[in-house]
């Protein structure tokens, strides 16, 4: 492994244990008689999505993806967010769980929550593997959080730096 991402913040073992706990909680909270739509926000959440979906103990999990991009390099509370890939299913009347890798400013998820609420799902909640509460600009209600982490630049398990490191199975802190 390249030396500038050598400090492990969360090991693969810690992540997998927490994913199983989150899945057990989600399994308890949602009726097994109805489909549960998991909406993964590309690209960072692809690995979490795959592990979470496999840890759920039900057959009617629907796997969906959305692409979101933020304008400019700095995200601001003005919420300059746009959809680059939309859902191709109708979520009206469905239980929808947004699956994210990380919440930082909250701009992306507060926008997405507003957008998907307009489509009248039966329920709409968020699960994020990582949360950086110190960085919040816009408040966002998140039902399931894997780990609250300090304000460090993290990579691995889906998270990138200039598209590198997404394939790591643990989460590391990127140093200067």
Name, in order, each residue with C-beta under 8 angstroms of 80's C-beta and a sequence gap of 6 or more: 70, 71, 72, 107
Q: Residues 64, 104, 125, 170: which binds ligand PRP (CB under 6 A)?
A: 104
From the list 36, 56, 106, 131, which residue makes contact with ligand PRP (rule: CB under 6 A)? 106
In the complex, the smallest distance separating the C-beta of residue 74 from ligand PRP, rounded to whole angstroms, is: 10
* Residue of 26, 95, 96 lying closest to 55 (CA atoms): 26
- Residue closer to ligand PRP by CB (options 33, 84) is 84
Gap between the Cα atoms of 174 and 154, Å rounded: 6
Q: Is 104 a catalytic residue?
A: yes
How many angstroms separate the first and last alpha carbons of the chain? Answer: 16
Contact window for ligand PRP (CB under 6 A) among 13-21, 88-96, 103-111, 149-157:
103-111
Element (H, E) at 8: strand 7-10
Residues found near ligand PRP in the complex (CB under 6 A): 41-44, 68, 70, 75, 100-109, 160
């Amino acid at each position: 492994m390249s030396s500038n991402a050598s400090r492990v913040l969360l090991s693969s073992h810690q992540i997998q244990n927490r994913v199983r706990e989150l899945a057990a909680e989600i399994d308890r909270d949602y009726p097994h008689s109805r489909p549960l739509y998991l909406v993964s926000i590309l690209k960072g959440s692809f690995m979490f999505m795959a592990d979470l979906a496999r840890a759920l103990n039900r057959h009617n999990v629907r796997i969906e993806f959305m692409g979101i991009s933020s304008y400019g390099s700095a995200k601001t509370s003005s919420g300059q967010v746009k959809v680059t890939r939309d859902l191709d299913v109708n979520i009206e009347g469905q239980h929808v769980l947004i699956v994210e890798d990380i919440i930082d400013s909250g701009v992306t998820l507060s926008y997405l929550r507003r957008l998907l609420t307009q489509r009248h799902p039966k329920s709409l909640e968020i699960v994020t593997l990582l949360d950086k509460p110190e960085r919040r600009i816009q408040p966002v209600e998140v039902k399931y959080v894997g780990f609250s982490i300090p304000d460090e630049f993290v990579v691995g398990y889906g998270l990138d730096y200039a598209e590198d490191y997404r394939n790591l199975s643990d989460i590391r802190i990127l140093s200067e």
